[in-house]
Amino acid sequence: MVGYSQLIRQNKNFRNLWFGQIISMFGDWFNLIASAALIAQLTESGLAVGALFVARMLAPFLVSPVAGVVADRYNRKTILIFSDIVRSMTAFAFLLVREPEHVWLIYALTFIQLGISGFFNPTYNALLPDLVSEEELGTANVLGTITWSVMLTLGAAVGGLVSGIFGIYTAFTIDGITFLLSIVFLLMVTYSHDVDAESDQSVSAAMQSYIDGLRYLRQKSDILLIALHKSFLTVTTWAGIQVIQVSIAEDLFVIGEGGSISLGLMFAFQGIGAALGPVVGRYIVGDDLKKIRRFIITCYLIDAVGLAIASTLFNFPVILFAWVLIGFGSGNLWVMSSQLLMTLLPNEMRGRVFSVEFALHTLFSAIAAGLAGYVLDIGLSIAGLLVATAVFSIVPAIIWGIWGVSRAPVGELAFGSEQGSEMAIGKRKGW
């Protein structure tokens, strides 16, 4: 396996892409902490906070039919740069929100910013295998997720501190600046995209291309099930507990303005687990696809244990420990499912499949976040919601154990083996 430092030193294109990812993700968590704390202050409503997460997740879902086709038909580097330009402008616009009657603007700006992210994230996943070799892909995938986790840890913690000490609007300003810095590194990525001049560029052709992607998933049930893992993860863990975290910070363990510091700490400790998880997981399973499939079951179970511990609400240190476990399991699950898709998908289908995956992930995130905010408002306790989530997280583990492991395609070998590598390369090239 290629080492992390070796990849960063030797692959200039990946290094610039990675530096841009570090900076923009750092700012992302500033925005989330600040906007959640601001809505909590202005509305004092769990449903209003849940609506924020609905807006964050529904926007990427709505743009997904276009985003996937764009990622497969146009220059992926250009898409990333344009996305960061728009997201920077939107981040600065959050500074206009000052009064309760301006709350609608938070939702509108969030919808725009995350809608643009609906283009950025699938395009990033589709571009990554173009910039690294077969041997580097697994390492690059894990490093990208570790980066997300570390930025969650640093960004959420620092974002909480900045919001709590210097004010929420300072956090919005920093978020806008980070997108501009990300563009600088993206401009240094060397990448060309060959466009077929004779291909049909009409809207109808684009929609037909997206439909072809859906048809591909319908025919490849194994790929579809792998693409659903992030949706399962969202429903059982991420979306609901993001709303729960706001309630814990605001009502139970209040540190900083509106609980912004305690909220940042919870995100940070989840990020610690999500950073450690993929490193440990990759050490255990390597690039062996069969081991990856089996390890995914363990990830769901670790999440369930973490949620069960959090439901005790014993004290804040126990909550933080539980969030480390949740991050450990969910971070691994995210990496393992992405590794399977990047390895098995042909190049011409990557953008559309990752777009559909992201669309389903965001749709279920919106539903789960809205439902979590609603049940908290009608009287279900935080502890009760955590227990229900812990139990529910076992369901996808059972489903994956039955269909994704025991019924995995015959002949799927370790990615690192000669035959398995040839198989993976063939699938990615559409052989």
Angstrom CA distances, 357 to 221, 227, 228, 352, 363, stand at 13, 5, 7, 8, 10
Tokens read off for 391:
């139990």
- In order of start, what are the domains of the chain with their CATH numbers? 4-188+218-428 (1.20.1250.20)
Query: Distance (Å, rounded) from C-alpha 327 to C-alpha 86?
Result: 30
CB proximity list for 402: less than 8 A, separation 6 or greater? none
Query: Distance (Å, rounded) from C-alpha 156 to C-alpha 161?
Result: 8
Closest CA to 144 of 311, 38, 229, 22: 22
Number of H helices and E strands in the chain, helices first, is 18, 0
Of 171 and 257, more confident = 171
Tell me: pLDDT of 411 over 50: no
Closest CA to 229 of 332, 333, 149: 333
- Residue pair 404/294 in contact (Cβ under 8 Å)? The answer is no
pLDDT digits (tens, 9 = 90+) for 293-343: 889 999 999 999 999 999 898 899 999 999 999 989 988 888 888 888 888
Q: How far is CA 162 from the centre of its chain?
A: 23
pLDDT of residue 62: 81
Query: Distance (Å, rounded) from C-alpha 139 to C-alpha 137?
Result: 5
Closest CA to 51 of 371, 362, 375: 371
- Residue pair 394/301 in contact (Cβ under 8 Å)? The answer is yes
pLDDT digits (tens, 9 = 90+) for 360-408: 887 787 778 778 777 777 777 888 888 888 888 898 888 888 876 766 6
Burial 2-22 (b: 16+ CB within 10 A, else e): beeeebbeebebbbbbbbbbb
Confidence class of residue 193 from pLDDT cuts 50, 70 and 90?
A: low
Q: Ramachandran region of residue 11, left (φ > 0), alpha (ψ -120 to 50) or beta?
A: beta
- Residue pair 194/316 in contact (Cβ under 8 Å)? The answer is no
CB proximity list for 320: less than 8 A, separation 6 or greater? 265, 266, 269
pLDDT of residue 201: 53
Angstrom CA distances, 152 to 18, 32, 146, stand at 15, 10, 10
pLDDT digits (tens, 9 = 90+) for 98-151: 888 888 899 999 999 888 887 887 788 778 888 888 778 878 877 877 776 677
SS3 398: helix
Of 194 and 2, more confident = 2
Per cent of the chain over pLDDT 70 is: 87
Tell me: pLDDT of 198 over 60: no
Q: How far is CA 296 from the centre of its chain?
A: 17
Confidence class of residue 204 from pLDDT cuts 50, 70 and 90?
A: low
pLDDT of residue 300: 93
Tell me: pLDDT of 40 over 60: yes
Closest CA to 72 of 344, 350, 342: 350
pLDDT of residue 301: 93
pLDDT digits (tens, 9 = 90+) for 277-294: 888 888 888 878 888 888
Tell me: pLDDT of 91 over 70: yes
**In the predicted model, what is the mean pLDDT of the chain?**
80
Closest CA to 148 of 354, 300, 335: 335
pLDDT of residue 430: 39
Please state whether the predicted TM-score (pTM) of the whole model is above 0.75. no
Query: Distance (Å, rounded) from C-alpha 307 to C-alpha 310?
Result: 5
pLDDT digits (tens, 9 = 90+) for 143-172: 877 776 677 667 767 777 787 778 888 888
The count of other CB atoms within 10 Å of the CB of residue 317 is 10
Tell me: pLDDT of 92 over 80: yes
Name the phi and psi angles at 248, rounded to 5: -60, -45
pLDDT digits (tens, 9 = 90+) for 262-272: 877 887 788 78
Tell me: pLDDT of 415 over 50: no
